[in-house]
Chains A and B, each alone.
Chain A
Amino acid sequence: MIRFVSIRLLRALVTILAVVTFAFVVLRISGDPAQVMLGPDVPQDAVDAFREAWGLDQPLWIQYLAYIHSIFTGDLGISMRDKESALQLVLERIPATLQLTIPALLLKLIIGIPAGVYAALHRQSGIDRGVIMLSILGFTIPSFVMGLLLVLIFSVTLGLLPSGGQGTWMHSLLPTITMSIGGIGLLARFSRSAMIEVMGQPYIRTASAKGLRWSDVVWQHALPNAAVPIVTIVGFMVGALLAGAVVVESIFSWPGIGRLLVVSVANRDLAVVQCILLLIAATMVVSNLIVDLLYGWLDPRLRGQAAH
């Protein structure tokens, strides 16, 4: 088990390093932060002074080594726009994002999985078809369309909810619903197909033939076996808790990580973008690590594979 965890931790570190390196190179070769940040009309003297002040006049490999060194010393850099610690800026925005993504994740789990399981257990029924239709609709409508549609209905037409911004709990309703709809659809479809596959397995027939109650068959035999693919999807959703609100935050003017990322990329605020990507990568990697461990817990056969 220790070897299993160690290997995955090592892989996680390599993944994070790859993400950081990729982000570093792409950000620097796709635009000079001085020109981007200062705009088109600024004199060349000002651009040169900016480059010098932020070390952008140094060769790329020197900048890279300095950056990696600073990461290992716990320094994630200073924002070129705000002249403040990039980490501090990012940490300040995390609660706002989690205020949307955690309730959205809960909605996905609470509605998506039961809907999919129910549809699988009532296959070919009207409810099953309804669930399939709604789930396809849910995850095929882009969030920016869904968000604007909800605003048109609930804010502009009915005047029931705020159209954007962060204030009362009511401000978070529309963005949370917008974020959850696609995930609900996705989870419902995955849960349905996983359950249908499991329900066709011989051990389900055996359990039924033994005279077990239908609910016991479902809860004790079908659901645990169907959980592996569902956990995989949920793992991705958990990993996207920080990164998954970029579009929705822009539509609803929500001051979270997503908007900070968009603004920082647009301005080539290197330290902030790299800090956000580092955190997102770390979240995704940790989430995947937990999912890997959960596999072993859910399916004892996988523990043996992990040991080898």
Chain B
Amino acid sequence: MLSINRRGALGLIGAATSTIVLPRMSFAQDKRPSVKIAVQKITNNNTLCVWNEQSNAGERVFFPNLWEGLILRDWMGNQGPVAGLATEWRRIDDKTLELKLRKGVKFHNGDELTAEDVAFSFSKERLFGETEPKGGKTIFADEHKPATAKELPASVPGIGRRVWPALAGVEVIDKHTVRFHNATPDVTLEGRLYAFGSQITNRRAWDEAASFTEWARKPITTGPYMVEDFKPDVSLTLAAFDEYWGGRPPLERIQFVEVPEVASRVNGLLSGEYDFACDLPPDQIATVQSASGFEIQGSTILNHRISVFNTQNPVLADPRVRRAMTHAIDRKAIVEALWGGQTVIPAGLQFEIFKTTDMFIDGWQVPEYNPGLAQDLLKQTNYKGDAIPYRLLNNYYTNQTANAQIMVEMWKQVGLNVEIQMKENWAQIHDPEGIKGVRDWSASANINDPVTPMVTQFGPNGEMQQKKDWTNAEMNELSVVLETSTDRALRKKAYARMLEICEREDPAYQVLHQNAVFTGMKSSLKWKAAPAFAMDFRSNNWAM
């Protein structure tokens, strides 16, 4: 016969209660928040491929939540390299880098990360197409071919070779060890491994996709969040990947929604529709900050606003005119007037991140604001007030048009006649027909070495020289040193000289200010913006 005493009865009641309460508590603990982020653009090319979508918009939705590389960028720190899918790496020689892969890393489809996936991620089929490495030939090509051929977008191999100009191949040593073989000596291999694009994808997922587009709309990666739904031009939803090697992600979902109008993004934030509103211009900061329960997080990013000169223009062929132009600009006034002092004037075409590789040139500055000097320089030339065309896009860059109008007035003050010509797109800016003069651009540091942007943008194969805007023989010789020398002191000396050439002696460009990005958000969210477009939603940057 069943007998129940008082203690037994209490136990039964407790057990019964716990069957009701505990699952709910467990559910409550398991319940994670989701966030909705309004962005101006989700992607430019409607894919989520890191090589096909090399843009600020892409950086935001890719890193560090979706795509990961062997070496990661320290997004919330000094932007330098930290261990990622590789736990350690060592130099075999000047051309070879060996990396040990992190064990137990899972892709979103459940596959374990192996050396084969790494080799495939840098293969001809995935990246380089028919291109060959500079200074050598492709090796290990046949070993990593996918089961089905995919037609790469025509532009991808060219973009891949910009970051990896001389990569000959990736050798699989064992399941968790790879060697990167470069055709030329290169001290920046480690830096290139955490550049935008050098992230790892799952080979099986590529094989199983019917087309490049199908794969690129839902790439299988190792990040803390995986693609759940992607509607091009509309929304992208990332869902938590609980088998992430770095621990359980703090958010259930991250939804990026495309809201092209600034006013609509701000209104959506203030009405509670969105948790974050990105890409806010400086003039919207006060609006958001004055609303109760909202704040702005902003920071400078690894991108400088510059304007560049075309030396085919007979007036600008004289470097003294270009020098005059650089001394006529009061950068501080621009930063105060247009940016509310929320950004900085950098030390020329340098980034703080270069300090991590001891490539920062201390003491170097942008040309001083000195209208008198500008006028003196002009007097030394034959300049008679001929118009200098300024091909301009309507706010492709934040504050671009207002900035241009201010600069034109500043140039006018010293006697320079610069005429704005509004253009609709980059093709019109670069149109070889007609006379060019000055135009806007920006320069990014993709890695912690001045090879980007100094060589990639202004070197012999950079856009400036390819489009015949400007060239300099010594600059081209120094570019080879910066790209291939392994003598660090020599490289630093070469970089210092390049700054002198490009910013003083024979100006190719003038640095205006560092770019900054501003995000409006609900103050209740315990999240910090990185000094980048990327938005870090890993557990170390999200407090409940």
Determine the residue in chain B with the shortest Cβ distance to A30: B424
Q: Does A255 contact B (CB under 8 A)?
A: yes
Q: Does A162 contact B (CB under 8 A)?
A: yes
Interface segment out of the listed B180-188, B228-236, B404-412: B228-236
In the complex, the answer to whether A39 meets B44 with C-beta atoms within 8 Å is yes
Q: Does A8 contact B (CB under 8 A)?
A: no
In the complex, the answer to whether B234 meets A250 with C-beta atoms within 8 Å is no
Chain A residues positioned under 8 Å from B268 (CB to CB): 155, 163-164
Q: Nearest-CB distance from B126 to chain A (Å)?
A: 16
Tell me the bound Cα distance from A39 to B53 in angstroms: 10
In the complex, the answer to whether A39 meets B213 with C-beta atoms within 8 Å is no
Chain A residues positioned under 8 Å from B467 (CB to CB): 44
Q: Does B261 contact A (CB under 8 A)?
A: yes
Tell me the bound Cα distance from A30 to B426 in angstroms: 10
Tell me the bound Cα distance from A62 to B2 in angstroms: 95
In the complex, the answer to whether B267 meets A156 with C-beta atoms within 8 Å is yes
Interface string of A75-110 (1 = CB under 8 A from B): 000000111100000000000000000000000000
In the complex, the answer to whether B46 meets A82 with C-beta atoms within 8 Å is yes
Q: Does B272 contact A (CB under 8 A)?
A: yes
Tell me the bound Cα distance from A216 to B457 in angstroms: 79
Interface segment out of the listed A183-191, A219-227, A259-267: A259-267
User: What count of chain B residues pass the 8 Å CB interface test?
Assistant: 49
In the complex, the answer to whether B234 meets A41 with C-beta atoms within 8 Å is no
Chain B residues positioned under 8 Å from A36 (CB to CB): 425-427
In the complex, the answer to whether A151 meets B264 with C-beta atoms within 8 Å is yes
Question: Would you list which residues of chain B between 18 and 60 have a CB under 8 Å from chain A?
Answer: 44-46, 54-55
Chain B residues positioned under 8 Å from A130 (CB to CB): none
In the complex, the answer to whether B428 meets A30 with C-beta atoms within 8 Å is yes
Tell me the bound Cα distance from A94 to B138 in angstroms: 48
In the complex, the answer to whether A43 meets B267 with C-beta atoms within 8 Å is no
Interface segment out of the listed B169-177, B252-260, B331-339, B471-479: B252-260
Q: Does A165 contact B (CB under 8 A)?
A: yes
Of residues B154, B261, B427, B430, which shows the largest number of chain A Cβ atoms within 10 Å of its Cβ? Answer: B154
Chain B residues positioned under 8 Å from A44 (CB to CB): 158, 463, 466-467
Q: Does A52 contact B (CB under 8 A)?
A: yes
In the complex, the answer to whether B155 meets A38 with C-beta atoms within 8 Å is yes
Q: Nearest-CB distance from A80 to chain B (Å)?
A: 9
User: What count of chain A residues pass the 8 Å CB interface test?
Assistant: 51
Which of B46, B260, B425 is A81 in contact with, Cβ under 8 Å?
Answer: B46
In the complex, the answer to whether A83 meets B260 with C-beta atoms within 8 Å is no
In the complex, the answer to whether B427 meets A164 with C-beta atoms within 8 Å is no
Chain A residues positioned under 8 Å from B461 (CB to CB): 43
Question: Would you list which residues of chain A between 248 and 264 have a CB under 8 Å from chain B?
Answer: 250-253, 255, 259-260, 262-263
In the complex, the answer to whether A83 meets B212 with C-beta atoms within 8 Å is yes
Q: Does B505 contact A (CB under 8 A)?
A: no
Which of B154, B159, B424 is A52 in contact with, Cβ under 8 Å?
Answer: B154
Chain B residues positioned under 8 Å from A33 (CB to CB): 427
In the complex, the answer to whether A251 meets B159 with C-beta atoms within 8 Å is no
Determine the residue in chain B with the shortest Cβ distance to A53: B154
Q: Does A302 contact B (CB under 8 A)?
A: no
Q: Nearest-CB distance from A144 to chain B (Å)?
A: 8
- Given the known interface contacts A45-B161, A159-B271, A164-B273, the answer about A253 and B427 at a Cβ–Cβ threshold of 8 Å is no
In the complex, the answer to whether B161 meets A43 with C-beta atoms within 8 Å is yes
- Given the known interface contacts A43-B461, A155-B273, A164-B268, the answer about A253 and B154 at a Cβ–Cβ threshold of 8 Å is no
In the complex, the answer to whether B425 meets A45 with C-beta atoms within 8 Å is no
In the complex, the answer to whether A42 meets B158 with C-beta atoms within 8 Å is yes
Tell me the bound Cα distance from A215 to B467 in angstroms: 75
Q: Does A148 contact B (CB under 8 A)?
A: yes
- Given the known interface contacts A82-B232, A151-B264, A250-B261, the answer about A41 and B161 at a Cβ–Cβ threshold of 8 Å is no
Q: Does B531 contact A (CB under 8 A)?
A: no
Q: Does B103 contact A (CB under 8 A)?
A: no
In the complex, the answer to whether B264 meets A42 with C-beta atoms within 8 Å is no
Question: Would you list which residues of chain A between 9 and 64 have a CB under 8 Å from chain B?
Answer: 30-50, 52-54
In the complex, the answer to whether B271 meets A81 with C-beta atoms within 8 Å is no
Q: Nearest-CB distance from A266 to chain B (Å)?
A: 8
- Given the known interface contacts A30-B424, A43-B161, A49-B154, the answer about A155 and B271 at a Cβ–Cβ threshold of 8 Å is yes
Which of A30, A39, A156, A262 is B270 in contact with, Cβ under 8 Å?
Answer: A156
A-B contact pairs, 7 of them (CB 8 A): A40-B463, A43-B162, A46-B157, A82-B46, A82-B232, A250-B261, A263-B233
Chain A residues within CB distance 8 Å of chain B: 30-50, 52-54, 81-84, 148, 151-152, 155-156, 159, 162-166, 250-253, 255, 259-260, 262-263, 266-268
Given contacts A34-B427, A49-B157, A50-B153, 18 further A-B contacts (CB under 8 A): A37-B44, A40-B441, A41-B54, A41-B463, A42-B159, A44-B466, A49-B155, A49-B158, A52-B154, A81-B45, A81-B232, A151-B264, A155-B267, A155-B268, A162-B271, A164-B267, A165-B257, A262-B260
Which 6 pairs show the lowest CB-CB distances between chains A and B? Answer: A46-B158, A45-B158, A46-B155, A32-B427, A53-B154, A31-B427
